Chains A and B, each alone.
Chain A
Amino acid sequence: MKKIVTVLTLFLLVSVSHAQENEKRIQFNKGTLKICSSSHMTIKGYDGDEVIIKSLNNTNRFVFSSNFVSKNLDSLRFYRSTDSALVRGYTFNSSLSEKKELEKGLKPLGKKSTNPADNLYLDITEKSGELIIRDYKPNSLGQGRIATTSSFVTYNNKYELLVPNSIKLLWNTENCTKTNSNTFYIRTNSAPWELSDFEGEVEISTAYNSINLTNVSGPVIANTIGGNIKVVFENIAPSKLYSLVSNDGYIDVTLPKNANIKVDATGYRILSNIDFKVITETLTESSKNMQLQLNLGRSKMKIDAGSGSVYLRKRE
């Protein structure tokens, strides 16, 4: 184990950063796109038929750790011939550059691949009406013996996704698990997860992550523990249901002044520069609830910030 850790450290120190910018296109324009990934993602909606994933991973740390632990798959034949972890590492390293030379100018054919690199280190599966994207986890195959924590691997992963407006998006930044085992780790990257210009139905769930929604027409169901939610209607008006729940983070919404909306807001404080008509105002033990209306109040927005505050801003 000590040897393994040494090799890990060696690779981290020696490896030269080489930006990896790859793209994967998957034909999918009807059904549900389920993203169960703690990788940082920026998702945009567009009027197309493909889910386009662009990897923005530019540190060799990521490439190393993922490839190293992926020995169960494509690199298996390398490691069989020797017992020394150190030798394995060097073998692997030299083969990597050779491989890169061989692969230059070529693209993987077909939709399926056993090489995690071809899926941009994501586990992508498709079944009837559902496209599921998960973080690539070699340990989940049951053979991986390298104790590389998922947080270490996924921490550096960054992706940009373009998704068709015609699909439904379920986005869970905690690998779609409700357990403690792989959800509670400290993130040093505070950049919020972003979704913009999307016209389909969305459900987002996060823990200790903030979410930014810009020009998302909805319906939207979003919740977070320990994160903030920011919603901006930059060039559209709200027309469908918005349900935003946070346990203790703030919820910040920017609305156009001509919005026809009813807002039911609960939070520690409710602050705004919009001339809302106050329908009801109730104080509970630790929070305040207000029912507000702007213009005719046709669409509904429910905001529950728990012990966090609610900010309602006018779009300038």
Chain B
Amino acid sequence: MSLEKFIKQHKETFDDEKMPASATMDFEARLKQELHSDTKVRRLIPTRYIAIAAGLVLLVSVGYFYLDWLKEVEIRDNLVLALEEEQTNSSRLQTIYEIEEQPQYQKEDRKILNAFFKILKDDSDANSKIAVIDALLKFPNNQEVRSNLIDALGNEKEPLVQLKLIKSIAVLREQRAKAPLQKIIEDNESLPLVKGNASELLAMLNQ
């Protein structure tokens, strides 16, 4: 039988407007299955998106904090550079006060501490040294800070800074300061006021 004849004989079967009962059942079953699987996809997609979004947020945050940290390091390095460079006393003082004010520098920072130690040792102006001593006193338990303050007491010649150092050592109750205090008391060039304060502190430390 040719294909043409077969089609003519089974014309009704090929009519797509009328679906055989079995086909309808089959279709409905498949549709149900499809719909079921659809609900599955709908439930899965938001979770996936949330996961992807969370990943992205995490990545952006890490990147942001890293960049922020890099920026902070750069600002810190610039401040340290400003402290170390030769400049006017007022601009150096401005930088010290800026560092003192910023909350992020309330914790110990190696580079900043080193820059402060250098200002204490150098022939800087009295106000800068006094500002640095105030900044260093925020870390009373740091042994290096304590040692540098004691060294400064032994070497300092400016009376106003000497008086500030004596007051600082009194707060720290640092026994190692006895020798530099004795040196100040015996030095003929020391101001009587400085000698008086040094003697008082020495008596306190000897108690």
Contacts and interface: CB of A to CB of B under 8 A. Distances in A.
B205 interface: no
A306 B126 CA distance: 14
B163 A264 contact: no
A311 B125 CA distance: 25
A221 B125 contact: yes
Contact of A241 (B90, B125, B190): B90
Nearest to A202: B90
B94 A300 contact: yes
Contact of A223 (B160, B192, B193): B160
A306 B160 CA distance: 10
Nearest to A208: B193
B188 A264 contact: no
A152 interface: no
A251 B90 CA distance: 19
B127 A285 contact: no
B47 interface: no
A35 B39 CA distance: 90
A178 B159 contact: yes
A203 B189 contact: no
A304 interface: yes
Contacts of B134: 304
A178 B88 contact: no
Nearest to A307: B167
Interface of B is mostly: helix
Interface stretch (A53-61, A76-84, A180-188): A180-188
B126 A223 contact: yes
Measured as residues with beta carbon below 8 angstroms from the partner, the interface class of chain B is: 20 to 34
Contact of B88 (A201, A207, A284, A300): A201
A221 B90 contact: yes
Nearest to B158: A178
Interface string B142-163: 0000000000000001111001
Contacts of B101: 264, 291
Given A178-B158, A247-B163, A264-B97, A304 B171 contact: no
A73 B167 CA distance: 48
Given A180-B188, A184-B192, A205-B126, A221 B89 contact: yes
B82 interface: no
Contacts of B88: 201, 219
Nearest to B163: A247
Contacts of B190: 180
Contact of B93 (A205, A226, A241): A241
A180 B189 contact: yes
A304 B125 contact: no
A132 B126 CA distance: 21
A219 B127 CA distance: 13
30 contacts: A178-B159, A179-B157, A179-B189, A180-B188, A180-B189, A184-B191, A184-B192, A201-B88, A205-B160, A218-B90, A221-B93, A221-B125, A221-B127, A225-B163, A225-B191, A225-B193, A241-B90, A241-B93, A243-B127, A245-B127, A245-B130, A247-B160, A247-B163, A284-B171, A291-B101, A300-B97, A302-B93, A302-B131, A304-B134, A306-B167
Interface of B: 88-90, 93-94, 97, 101, 125-127, 130-131, 134, 157-160, 163, 167, 171, 188-193
